């Protein structure tokens, strides 16, 4: 017997906090880790970013849906987060690029939402207590039963979610035609570098930036072996963003260790890929209290600051590297966590934030140039 559907909804957190609101998007019940994103734009990119797989995302901007949704702004084929938490939702978008309303699109894609929630109070609570599991429900299910099921739901810490989002088959990536809304995509080189991208949950905009900086990109599953990678004769290997606990992605850590030990080609990691690179270099990671998710995080070192786009709940421990050749090149200037690493005398670099800036500022786009320069030096 299925539960009845309601126009009201609740958000229940693992610590017993209960918030009431209105249902929007798909009606149902969904469990996940409750986090928050402070960006003022880019809700569609966030919703379709595979790095948010398994999460219920609170948007701090007070109104969602103003610009609707469109196919161009998607970071993947469909939404990957499990639920959306909002203050207000505009059901009548007004934008020349809009193709559909946010609410109808979420309903169509099975994403459960709750609105009319005091998101400011919720975020203040999460900043104090930390990100935690929660449940959104617009079904007539007893609170006691939801709370019982919630405590049986696994914690994000220790979860390997890469297998849920990685591609099953290899594919090549080329720039969309026409170029599209982002005019930066036009900067393509005549002599492309052969790059293999390992898909831990890769975003389309990252692939676009690699191609725009002169790379010919082949995307491979996270389950690929060293021999499968070398079959493409890459001049560089890219390690993508993705969801879950980096320390739980054992096979990929082992793969990157093999690449470092057996192949002298440039490696470039972003977000989860950066953390996996750090783990392969002997470092360790830890779970942040509530993570970094937003578009205005200052990162830098030695007087140079980049305003960056971020989305991660784990970070590298800077004191865990025994090899003195591993350098922390950038810090998050809000809390001094590791924002980027490199290796002295080796073509290895990792960036915790998102230099593709989708959504977000373009300050950090030069990291793609660094990767290309390393490959150019070895030609």
Asked, as a colleague might, if the bond just before 178 is cis with ω within 30 of 0, I would say yes
**Residues pairing with 139 in the sheet:** 5
The three-point CA angle 56-71-220 to 5° equals 75
**Residue-by-residue DSSP string for 46-92:** HHT-GGGTTEEEEE-SSEE-TT-B-GGG-SSSS--SSEEE-SEE-SS
Q: Catalytic site residue 177?
A: no
Q: Catalytic site residue 271?
A: yes
Q: Which residue has the tokens 């070192």?
A: 301
Choose the catalytic residue: 235, 271, 274, 306. 271
**Residue-by-residue DSSP string for 248-308:** G-HHHHHHHHHHHHH--S-EEEETHHHHHHHHHTT--EEEEEEEEEEEEEEEEETTEEEEE
The four Cα atoms 237, 243, 249, 253 give a dihedral, to 10 degrees, of 30
Choose the catalytic residue: 80, 312, 354, 367. 354
Q: Which residues contact 61 (CB under 8 A, 6 or more apart)?
A: 38, 39, 40, 41, 43
Token digits of residue 219: 């995307």
Choose the catalytic residue: 75, 103, 235, 356. 356
**Residues pairing with 342 in the sheet:** 327, 349
Q: Catalytic site residue 356?
A: yes
- The crossing angle, in degrees rounded to 10, of helices 250-262 and 272-280 is 60
Catalytic residues: 271, 354, 356
């Amino acid at each position: 017997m299925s539960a009845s559907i309601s126009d009201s909804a609740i958000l229940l957190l693992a610590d017993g906090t209960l918030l009431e609101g209105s249902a929007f998007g798909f009606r149902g019940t969904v469990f996940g880790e409750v986090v928050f994103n402070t960006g003022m734009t880019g809700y569609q990119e966030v919703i379709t970013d595979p790095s948010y797989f398994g999460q219920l995302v609170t948007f701090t901007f007070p109104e969602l849906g103003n610009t609707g949704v469109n196919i161009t702004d998607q970071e993947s084929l469909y939404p990957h987060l499990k639920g959306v938490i909002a203050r207000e939702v505009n059901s009548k978008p007004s934008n020349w690029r809009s193709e559909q309303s946010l609410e109808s699109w979420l309903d169509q894609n099975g994403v459960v939402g709750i609105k009319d929630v005091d998101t400011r109070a919720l975020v203040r609570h999460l900043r104090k207590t930390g990100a935690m599991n929660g449940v959104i429900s617009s079904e007539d299910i007893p609170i006691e039963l939801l709370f019982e099921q919630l405590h049986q739901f696994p914690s994000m810490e220790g979860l390997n979610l890469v297998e849920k989002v990685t591609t099953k088959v290899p594919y090549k990536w080329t720039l969309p035609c026409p170029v599209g809304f982002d005019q930066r995509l036009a900067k393509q080189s005549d002599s492309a570098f052969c790059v293999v991208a390992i898909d831990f949950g890769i975003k389309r905009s990252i692939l676009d930036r690699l191609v725009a900086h002169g790379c010919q990109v082949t995307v491979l599953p996270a389950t690929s072996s060293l021999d499968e990678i070398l079959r493409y004769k890459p001049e560089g290997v890219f390690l993508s963003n993705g969801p879950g606990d980096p320390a739980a992605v054992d096979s990929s850590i082992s793969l990157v260790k093999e690449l470092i030990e057996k192949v002298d080609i440039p490696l470039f990691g972003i977000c989860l890929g950066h953390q996996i690179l750090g783990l392969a270099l002997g470092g360790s990671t830890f779970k942040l209290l509530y993570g970094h998710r937003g578009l205005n995080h200052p990162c830098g070192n030695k007087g140079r600051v980049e305003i960056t786009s971020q989305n991660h709940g784990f970070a590298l421990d800077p004191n865990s590297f025994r090899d003195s050749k591993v350098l922390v090149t950038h810090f998050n200037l809000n809390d001094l966590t590791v924002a980027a690493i490199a290796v002295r005398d080796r073509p290895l670099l990792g960036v915790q934030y998102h230099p593709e800036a989708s959504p977000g500022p373009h300050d950090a786009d030069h990291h793609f140039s660094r990767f290309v320069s390393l490959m150019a030096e070895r030609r």
